[in-house]
Structures are given as structure tokens and as C-alpha cells.
Amino acid sequence: MLTARSITQSLIQLRTTYPFITLLILGLASGLSSAHFQLIYTDQTMIVDKGSELMLKMPFTHPGSNGAVMSIDSPQAFYCISPKGKEDLSQNLRPIQWSSSINDGKAFEAKVSQRLMGDYVYIFQQSPYYDESQEGYIQQFAKLILNVGGLPTSWDTPQNLPIEILPLQMPYKVYAGGTFSGQVLANGKPVPNAEVEVELLNFKPNMKKNSFADKPTYQYPSDHFATISLKADRNGVFVFGIPKPGIWGFMAGFPESSSTYKDKPLSQEAILWVEALELK
């Protein structure tokens, strides 16, 4: 039986011998494995004891399965909401190549500063990209919330994005074995019955090599468990039990979207990254 993992392994071999064929069937592997998530990653903990400079890596990839990396254009916006207010960080972006188990793709990195105590809400607003299978465009709004010194400030403040996930608990104070709850908002209003997908960043990023680790952190019961799907309630609220420590990505979208881009349907999705820590 063909599975996402077996197809991915075959693509690794084909990539070396028949690179053109690999490009043609890359979409098949993407469709059978987990969904693409816009990543904003730093190898430091979500709570930083002292203000410092951090490097953020931002590939668009499959965090749960080390799958295909999709090259992305420069984002429409990249900024931070901090104790200083809103800061445009687009000038901090630098293009890089990010490697997964089967391909390389254009991504971005940025060096950022965190000098004051409080929350730092980083938002990466993708430029819409065309998806042939949907005959329309897709755009993701990714959010990462870091904290300096343990002083909470703006972690629970809606950013009035076209779509976003508002954490209902501090996203940097989550225990593995506990739960995480959030609310899906569109322009500040709840999205009833929003569709939510959850994935673990199961292959540790290598910050120096701009790639993922070869081996997963955990083994799934089967490939189907790389992505967990659930629905929010009528108020856009969802709750997910986090079984293991690590970085978890939450993606939310509209059950139906009426937005358009370049006279084509536009699907907009929200990403929120949460770190679950082990209680020792």
C-alpha cells in the first residue's frame, strides 16, 4: 500500500536520479502528507529571561512529516507588536534556501531584537499563492508570540487580521499533557465552526544548515496522525490536548470563503505556534 512516507522515500531516490520527474510528482506527496504551515521558528524557548537578539527562520513546509518545502515570495507584511508598539520588520528579512527530506525551497530569515520585558507578537503575512488543485489563491497569516522576563502584555490582544487564532491562555506557558485553547477570529469577530488542523514540528530545525533533522522526534501510530483535524464551536473556540512536549502549529481556515484575489477565490488561513514544555 502506498503511504505518504513510502512516496516520500521514493521521491528522495528520484530526486537524485530523475530531478525533473520529482518536480512533476512533488504535489502528490504534498497532498498525501500533512498540510503546509508557514513556520516562524527560533531555537530559544518561548520565554526569554533577558532581552536579546534572536534569529527567526520562516520556511513554508510540512512540519509534521519533513515533507515538501514550497518556495514563497516576499511577504506582504512582517512586523512585531511589542512593548514599544508596532514595528515593521520587513527590512530585517533575508532570503534563504530551506531543505527538507525531498527538496529545497525559498524561505526567509530575520534577526530581531527583544530588549524590553513583555510579549513580542511576530506576524508573517504571506503573499497569496496560486493553488491549481483549488483553482484559486491561498494566503496564510502566521503568528508567533514570545515573551521576555515573564511579564505578560499583549498575548491576548486581537490583531484584527483577516483571520487569526487568538490564544485563550498564554501560548508560552503550556504543559505537555495539558490542553491548549484558542479562538478563531476574522477581522476581530468569531468564526463559527472554523476548521482547525494541528501539527507537531516533529523534525527539529537545524538553524545553521537551514534544514530539518533527518529523524523525527516521535513516531506516529501511522502517517494519518501527522495532522489532527477538529472544528471550533459556534463561538470559534477550540480545545486541543497536547500529548508531548515540542512546538505545535495550529492552522484555522474558513469553512467557506467569499474573498477573491486577482479575480480568483482566495482562501485565508491563520497559523499560531505554541510551545508545550515538560513538567519535570
Give the end-to-end CA distance of the chain in Å, rounded to a whole number.
41
Nearest residue to 40 via CA among 275, 278, 276, 277: 275
Domain tally, the chain:
1
Domain with 61, as residue range(s), is: 4-29+36-277
- pTM for the complete prediction? 0.86
HSE, side-chain direction, 13 A CA sphere, residue 184: 29
SS3 content of the chain, % helix, strand, coil (to 5): 10, 45, 45
**Whole-angstrom Cα Rg for the chain:** 18
pLDDT of residue 6: 41
HSE, side-chain direction, 13 A CA sphere, residue 24: 5
pLDDT of residue 7: 40
Cell 530585517: give the residue: 92
pLDDT of residue 255: 62
pLDDT of residue 134: 84
* Tens-level pLDDT at each residue, the chain (280 residues): 333 434 444 443 444 444 333 333 333 333 333 479 999 999 887 777 777 789 999 999 999 998 899 999 999 999 999 999 999 999 999 999 999 988 999 999 999 999 899 999 999 999 999 999 889 999 999 999 999 999 999 999 999 999 999 999 999 999 999 999 999 999 999 999 999 999 999 999 999 999 999 999 999 999 889 999 999 999 999 999 999 999 999 999 876 666 899 999 999 999 999 999 998 8
147 and 166 in contact (C-beta within 8 Å)?
A: no
Nearest residue to 25 via CA among 35, 42, 10: 10
Nearest residue to 175 via CA among 243, 280, 44, 277: 277
Please tell me what DSSP assigns to residue 92: G
